[in-house]
């Protein structure tokens, strides 16, 4: 039997060991051109990942609970099986792979530890925002208008959400034009709520651009996904928001469900300063449910059965977010959904890099309050992403 003295010594020893461990995973911030970075090794230790596996430009971390893959000199990465777009590229500095602090705080942390998100408010109400309406038709395919598909999708979603006990408010119920500020005001007048804007994508530059993407508000002091660098305008346009982490987590919950249940191309979890994301004061996301300019997807979007699948998947994602917010239940990820639905089509294989796509009419409408002038480039301390210009809807 262990003597009391020995037990005390052991306890002290293990306390010492634990404190050593804690000391070992303290954040070691590296300043590079005025911006804060952390090494991938530091991040791995902090979150309990074994040493990263490096294969060419790919850096893999997997601890059996979470999985991440960084790409050196790129803003593109995979977190738990889906594409994410960082604010700044990951790059090598003094022989160490570094990630910006803003990306760690705003993109990695909420996804690696969703249970730790501060002030994740309970959810009872979903504000559904069918994009466009009235004279604003949005994107157009050979089969129909974005405004009609978005409204139909909201109408399909409403009863699904209500059946799960959500209260549902729609920013429009018919084919009318609703200004963006009014949509945000409707959302902000609700309580215990989240905001989900529904859109379909378009581009006039790349007829084969396809797939899903989802947006939440760009963090303050960071470029949006489609921007190569920081501009004064993009910094000045927006005050900080307390809902950043909740919004990106809502993005993740819906996006993992979408990709896990419908086999479209993964364009990723993105950031933008769309007016409806900027002006809403509750967790807010904007879903782009496929391209009206791509032949195959435009046909799918025109199919009511496919839109029903889309509604089912979005509903499951919202439910997963509520389970996290209300009961701290870890959200399902893409692999969980694929396991639940073994017959679901595999995701489309494509290059890792998004095909670049220019702004569309619908995007311009969303950006209607964005000042185009005074776009003075700010210092961009990191190398620009190599061949990974993130696409726009």
Tell me which residues touch Zn ion (CB under 5 A).
131, 138, 199, 362
Q: Smallest distance, Å, CB 351 to Zn ion?
A: 25
Task: Please report how close the Cβ of residue 58 comes to Zn ion at its closest, in angstroms.
Answer: 33
Kindly report each contact of residues 344-352 with a partner whose C-beta sits within 8 Å and lies 24 or more positions away, as own/partner: 344/260, 344/261, 344/262, 344/263, 345/262, 345/263, 346/263, 347/259, 347/263, 347/264, 347/265, 347/266, 348/210, 348/211, 348/263, 348/264, 348/265, 350/211, 350/265, 352/71, 352/76, 352/83
**Secondary element (H or E) of residue 167:** strand 167-170
Residue with smaller CB distance to Zn ion, 70 or 215: 215
CB of residue 150 vs Zn ion: minimum separation in angstroms? 7
> Which is closer to Zn ion, CB of 89 or CB of 131?
131
Closer residue to Zn ion (CB): 172 or 199: 199
Which residue number is nearest to Zn ion in terms of Cβ? 362
276 touches 194 (CB < 8 A): no
> Which of 203/388 has CB closer to Zn ion?
203
Closest CA to 131 of 154, 108, 115, 110: 154
Min CB(385)–Zn ion separation in Å = 25
- Rank residues 37 and 149 by Cβ distance to Zn ion and give the closer one: 149
Smallest distance from Zn ion to CB 334, Å: 24
- Considering the complex, state which of residue 100 and residue 201 has its C-beta at the smaller distance from Zn ion: 201
Burial 62-93 (b: 16+ CB within 10 A, else e): eeeebbbbbbbbbbbbbbbbbbbbbbbbbbee
CB of 362 to Zn ion, least distance (A): 3
CB of 313: closest distance to Zn ion in angstroms?
19
Q: Which is nearer to Zn ion, 148 or 249 (CB)?
A: 148
Closest CA to 393 of 291, 282, 265, 273: 291
Give the shortest CB-23-to-Zn ion separation in angstroms: 50
- Which residues are bridge partners to 194 per DSSP? 126
Tallying the residues shown for the chain, one arrives at 393
* 8 Å CB contact between 135 and 178: no
**Nearest CB to Zn ion, comparing residues 138 and 283:** 138
C-alpha distance from residue 298 to each of 94, 149, 310, 366 (Å): 48, 11, 14, 21
């Amino acid at each position: 039997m262990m003597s009391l003295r020995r037990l005390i010594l052991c306890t002290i020893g293990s306390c010492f060991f634990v404190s050593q461990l804690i000391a070992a995973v303290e954040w070691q911030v590296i300043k590079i051109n005025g911006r804060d970075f952390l090494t991938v090794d530091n991040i791995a230790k902090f979150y309990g990942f074994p040493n990263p596996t490096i294969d060419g430009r790919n850096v893999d971390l997997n601890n059996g609970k979470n999985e991440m893959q960084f790409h050196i000199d790129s803003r593109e990465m995979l977190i738990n099986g889906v594409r994410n777009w960082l604010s700044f590229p990951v790059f090598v500095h003094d022989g160490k792979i570094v990630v910006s602090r803003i990306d760690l705080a705003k993109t990695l942390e909420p996804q690696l530890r969703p249970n730790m998100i501060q002030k994740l408010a309970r959810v009872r109400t979903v504000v559904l925002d069918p994009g466009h309406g009235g004279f604003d038709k949005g994107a157009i395919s050979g089969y129909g208008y974005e405004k009609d598909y978005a409204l139909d999708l909201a109408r399909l979603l409403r009863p699904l959400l209500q059946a799960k006990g959500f209260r549902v408010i729609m920013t429009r119920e018919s084919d009318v034009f609703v200004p963006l500020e009014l949509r945000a005001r409707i959302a902000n007048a609700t309580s215990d709520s989240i905001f989900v804007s529904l859109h379909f994508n378009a581009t006039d530059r790349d007829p084969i651009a396809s797939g899903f993407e989802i947006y939440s508000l760009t963090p303050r002091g960071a470029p949006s996904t489609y921007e190569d660098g920081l501009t004064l305008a993009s910094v000045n346009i927006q005050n900080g928001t307390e809902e950043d982490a909740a919004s990106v987590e809502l993005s993740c919950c819906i996006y993992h469900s979408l990709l896990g249940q419908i086999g479209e191309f993964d364009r990723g979890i993105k950031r933008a300063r769309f007016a409806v994301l900027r002006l809403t004061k509750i967790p807010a996301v904007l879903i782009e449910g496929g391209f009206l300019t791509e032949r195959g997807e435009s046909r799918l979007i025109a199919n009511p059965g496919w839109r029903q699948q889309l509604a089912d998947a979005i509903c499951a994602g919202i439910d997963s977010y509520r389970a996290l917010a209300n009961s701290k239940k870890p959200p399902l990820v893409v692999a969980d959904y694929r396991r639940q639905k073994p017959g679901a089509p595999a995701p489309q294989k494509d290059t890792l890099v998004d095909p670049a796509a220019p702004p569309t009419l619908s995007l311009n409408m969303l950006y209607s309050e964005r000042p185009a002038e005074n776009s003075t480039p700010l210092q961009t301390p990191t190398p620009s992403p190599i061949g990974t210009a993130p696409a726009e809807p």
